[in-house]
Structure 1
Amino acid sequence: MDTNPVVCIVDDDEAVRCATASVVRAVGWPTCVFASAEDFLQAADALGRLACLICDVQMTGMSGVEMHERLLARGCAPPIIFVTAFPTPELEARARANGASAFLEKPVDATTITGWLAQVCGKA
């Protein structure tokens, strides 16, 4: 079993998911990608190796904020960077109250993602 830390990307938009993973890999982080919050929550191996989570807020099914709350209820509090095309002050307040490292509006450029990765993970 691989024990290297990974950055997990959860986004139901395949193009965004793939582009984000490409940026993260380009700065040296291995990635795991998931098309839904439900898929991510079922991935025990990825949870055990999680360095950081980059997650869309609004997805089909469970939202990213709800997924984060479920992780917290399990006692898992990874650094999390939320991205959303539909930011609201209330949603940002809820995410930050739960410990979100960042709450970014889409589209997010590569420099912003790598900057936040460096800040929350110590390298990028």
Structure 2
Amino acid sequence: MTTGLLISVVDDDDSVRVSTEGLLRSLGYAVRGFDSAEAFLGSDAVGASACVVSDVQMPGMSGVDLKTALSAQGIATPVILMTAFPNDATRQKAAAAGVSCFLPKPYQAQALIDCIETALAA
């Protein structure tokens, strides 16, 4: 595994964000957390992130909107989306936006690790 790469975690749920950050740090990644897509997009982490792990449903911009905004700026950073409300319509929107992986919450740690490793290898 390549360590030291920056992974940004975007989730308005503090407990999910903090636990995801802890998991990724334990694997050797550098991690920055953001409580909204807007906070992430306004940060210097946008160009520095090797991967973004984001919730789908958040106040303001959704995770799908976040991926769309990155793509519109020509930023090809892989985005992994997580949602407590997985459904086919959201999954299809995420796929159409070019999301790397789509996980239901609560996610299994190994499933997230596999998604990140696949996204970083692409």
TM-score normalized by structure 1? 0.90
2:66 counterpart residue number: 67
1:31 maps to a residue whose letter is V
* Structure 1 unaligned spans of 5+: none
Q: What are the within-5 Å matches in structure 2 for residues 1-124 of structure 1?
A: 5-43=5-43, 45-122=44-121
Offset, 1:5:
3.3
Query: Which whole-Å CA distance do the structure 2 matches of 1:54 and 1:27 have between them?
Result: 15
Runs of 4+ with deviation above 3 angstroms: none
Q: Name the % identity.
A: 41
| 1:71 partner letter | L
Q: Is the 8 A contact 2:54 2:82 kept in 1?
A: yes
Note the C-alpha offset of 1:121.
1.5
Secondary structure class of the residue paired with 1:116: helix
Contact kept in structure 2, 1:10 and 1:56, CA below 8 Å: yes
Question: Aligned pair count?
Answer: 118
Deviation of 1:118 after TM superposition, in Å, equals: 1.5
Distance 2:46 2:33 in 1: 12
Per-residue CA deviations over 1:57-113 (Å, capped at 9, x if unaligned) read 000111111111111111112111100001121111111111111111000021111
Indicate conservation of the 8 Å contact 1:23/1:114, yes or no. no
Report which stretch shifted further, 12-21 or 87-96.
87-96
- Partner amino acid for 1:95? A
Paired residue type of 1:16: V
Structure 2: which 5+ residue stretches go unaligned? none
In structure 1, C-alpha distance between the alignment counterparts of 2:84 and 2:103, rounded to whole Å? 9
